[in-house]
């Protein structure tokens, strides 16, 4: 077969004297391309360019050093041989050579992180070491080529575990813009402060129209006028006066009438002053607290027979005090710890009744049987436990033994 035309770049292997004479002997025309014109390259040069682009992408995507370009291009060619091509009728070169379709299921990503089993350490050392997967070994089956970043070397391993690939997706923050149109910034609005009433009379000012500032309407500033005398106040607001010591007796009489059942004369409730009118400061009552009805009757001599009740009160107090002391002593003593302590107490009959009741319950349940004591054996003893069960108010509910 005679080649009529050969297109190549300007490399020395194509422009040398020996190769030029060979083309002339064969009658082949030579065409040379210029630099940086990949569109003029042939099929071989185009394939080399695509393989180099894939190697560039694989190295930068895996963030591995450039000296692994040979491993990267081997894997790129391995994928190329298992990808369909139009020249072979959409059939892969692997299928045309071996007669079966290649299986690309589960092919890992080049440069993916893996864990390699390591059993050279002690029992407490790590059982795996992190490495990078860079392809399959062509001289063996079911083995992998592994790159060790710490050592900078490549080895062949079979007991590995792939780390799942995680993908981080960055999403823009949510937009809070509404379809109402662009937001127009309004000019700052100064707050309107209502001044409190002053002590000096002010002259009323004529009413002025409302001022507009931006989109907020500010009403005119209110004015306050102090009345000339107390006679001009509304009739529903009587003047407030500070009560004198003489008026305390009148207040007490009114309260007494209210307690004895006489209806109290109450004036009409005054209306609340408007917020714009001046108000008097709140005064603090200086009246002493009133006595109860029972205390007033005792002070007046009602319900008193004239007898001296101090002795009776002392006797009652002494009786209560004695009961309190007895209860405190019993509480301090607590429950008896042994049978002799229970027999020495004043409430021994109650404890004896509780013991009899417990023994009757055990006999009815046939808890034990009487047998002769075996010789040279230790007998486990028993003892009584006494407890007083009390109610919520502290009173005795029952005696338990």
Q: How confident is the model at residue 233 (pLDDT cuts 50, 70, 90)?
A: very low
Can you give the pLDDT at residue 242? 47
Does one domain contain both 328 and 349? Answer: yes
Q: Using CB atoms within 10 A of its CB, is residue 1 exposed (0-12), middle (13-18) or buried (19+)? A: exposed
User: Tokens for 285?
Assistant: 């009552």
Can you give the pLDDT at residue 93? 92
Does one domain contain both 111 and 144? Answer: yes
130 and 161 Cβ atoms separated by less than 8 Å: no
Q: Write out the H or E segment, with its range, that includes residue 8.
A: strand 5-8
Does one domain contain both 5 and 90? Answer: no
CA 294 from chain centre, in angstroms, equals 60
Domain contains 53: yes
CB atoms within 10 A of CB 114: 20
User: Tokens for 345?
Assistant: 């107490």
Task: Summarize the confidence of residues 283-312 as an average pLDDT.
Answer: 64
40 and 15 Cβ atoms separated by less than 8 Å: no
Task: Summarize the confidence of residues 358-363 as an average pLDDT.
Answer: 88
Domain contains 182: no
Domain contains 341: yes
| Percentage of residues in the chain having pLDDT higher than 90 | 20
Task: Summarize the confidence of residues 244-258 as an average pLDDT.
Answer: 47
Can you give the pLDDT at residue 366? 85
Last residue within a domain, chosen from 143, 162, 181? 162
Last residue within a domain, chosen from 124, 140, 162? 162
Q: Which long-range contacts (CB under 8 A, 24 or more apart) does 74-82 make?
A: 74/135, 74/138, 75/110, 75/134, 75/135, 76/51, 77/51, 78/135, 78/136, 80/51
DSSP string, 335-381: S-SSHHHHHHSTTHHHHHHHHHHHHHHHHHTT-----PPPTT-PPP-
- 162: region left, alpha or beta (phi > 0 left; psi from -120 to 50 alpha): beta
Q: Which domain range does residue 15 map to?
A: 1-37
CA-closest candidate to residue 111, choices 136, 134, 79, 129: 134
Domain contains 156: yes
Does one domain contain both 12 and 110? Answer: no
Residue-wise pLDDT for 174-204, tens only, equals 665 445 555 555 555 565 555 555 555 554 4
Averaged confidence pLDDT in the chain: 74
Does one domain contain both 73 and 98? Answer: yes
Task: Summarize the confidence of residues 215-226 as an average pLDDT.
Answer: 53
Can you give the pLDDT at residue 46? 80
Task: Summarize the confidence of residues 364-385 as an average pLDDT.
Answer: 85
Does one domain contain both 61 and 30? Answer: no
Does one domain contain both 7 and 119? Answer: no
User: Tokens for 218?
Assistant: 């500010």
Residue-wise pLDDT for 128-147, tens only, equals 999 999 999 988 878 999 99
Q: Is the pLDDT of residue 249 over 50?
A: no
Does one domain contain both 151 and 100? Answer: yes
Residues in CB range of 158: below 8 A, 6 or more apart: 142, 143, 144
3-state secondary structure of 48: helix
| Percentage of residues in the chain having pLDDT higher than 70 | 62
Does one domain contain both 136 and 101? Answer: yes
Does one domain contain both 47 and 155? Answer: yes
Does one domain contain both 60 and 139? Answer: yes
Domain contains 235: no
Task: Summarize the confidence of residues 373-388 as an average pLDDT.
Answer: 85
Does one domain contain both 13 and 113? Answer: no
Task: Summarize the confidence of residues 74-101 as an average pLDDT.
Answer: 90
Last residue within a domain, chosen from 162, 181, 197? 162
User: Tokens for 132?
Assistant: 């990078």
Q: Work out how many domains the chain is built from and give that number.
A: 3
Task: Summarize the confidence of residues 238-245 as an average pLDDT.
Answer: 49
φ/ψ of 85, rounded to 5, equals -130, 150
Q: Is the pLDDT of residue 394 over 70?
A: yes
Cα dist. 240→159, 197, 219, 232, 283 in Å? Answer: 101, 20, 34, 15, 10
Domain contains 98: yes
Domain contains 247: no
Can you give the pLDDT at residue 72? 93
Domain contains 63: yes
Q: How confident is the model at residue 245 (pLDDT cuts 50, 70, 90)?
A: very low
> How does strand 396-400 pair with strand 29-32?
unpaired
Give the integer Cα–Cα distance in Å for 293 and 289. Answer: 13
């Amino acid at each position: 077969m005679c080649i009529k035309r050969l297109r190549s770049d300007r490399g020395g292997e194509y422009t040398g004297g020996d190769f030029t004479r060979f083309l002339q002997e064969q009658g082949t025309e030579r065409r040379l391309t210029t630099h940086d014109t990949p569109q003029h390259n042939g099929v071989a040069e185009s394939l080399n360019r695509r393989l180099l682009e894939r190697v560039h992408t694989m190295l930068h995507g895996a963030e591995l050093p450039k000296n692994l370009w040979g491993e990267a291009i081997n894997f790129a060619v391995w994928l190329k041989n298992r990808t369909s091509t139009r020249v072979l009728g959409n059939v892969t070169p692997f299928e045309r050579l071996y007669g079966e379709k290649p299986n690309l299921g589960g092919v890992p990503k080049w440069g993916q992180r893996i864990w390699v089993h390591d059993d050279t350490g002690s029992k407490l050392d790590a059982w795996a070491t992190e490495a990078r997967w860079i392809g399959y070994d062509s001289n063996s089956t079911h083995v992998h080529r592994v790159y060790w970043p710490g050592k900078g070397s490549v080895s062949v391993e079979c007991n590995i575990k792939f780390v799942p690939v995680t993908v981080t997706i960055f999403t823009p923050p949510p937009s809070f813009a509404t379809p109402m149109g662009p937001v127009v910034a309004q000019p700052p609005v100064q707050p309107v402060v209502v001044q409190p009433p002053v002590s000096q009379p002010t002259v009323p000012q004529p009413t002025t129209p409302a001022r507009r500032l931006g989109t907020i309407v500010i009403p005119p500033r209110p004015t306050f006028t102090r009345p000339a005398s107390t006679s001009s106040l509304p009739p529903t607001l009587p003047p407030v006066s500070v009560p004198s010591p003489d008026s305390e007796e009148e207040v007490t009489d009114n309260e007494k009438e209210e307690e004895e059942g006489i209806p109290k004369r109450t004036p009409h409730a005054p209306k609340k002053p408007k917020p714009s009118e001046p108000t008097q400061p709140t005064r603090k009552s200086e009246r002493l607290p009133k006595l109860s009805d029972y205390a007033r009757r005792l002070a007046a001599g009602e319900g008193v027979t004239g007898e001296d009740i101090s002795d009776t009160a002392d006797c009652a107090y002494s009786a209560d005090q004695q009961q309190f002391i007895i209860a405190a002593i019993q509480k301090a003593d607590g429950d008896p710890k042994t049978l002799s302590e229970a027999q020495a107490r004043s409430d021994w009959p109650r404890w004896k009744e509780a013991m009899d009741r417990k023994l009757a319950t055990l006999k009815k349940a046939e808890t034990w049987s009487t047998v002769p004591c075996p010789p040279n054996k230790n007998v486990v003893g028993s003892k009584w436990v006494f407890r007083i069960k009390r109610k919520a108010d502290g009173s005795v509910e029952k005696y338990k033994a």
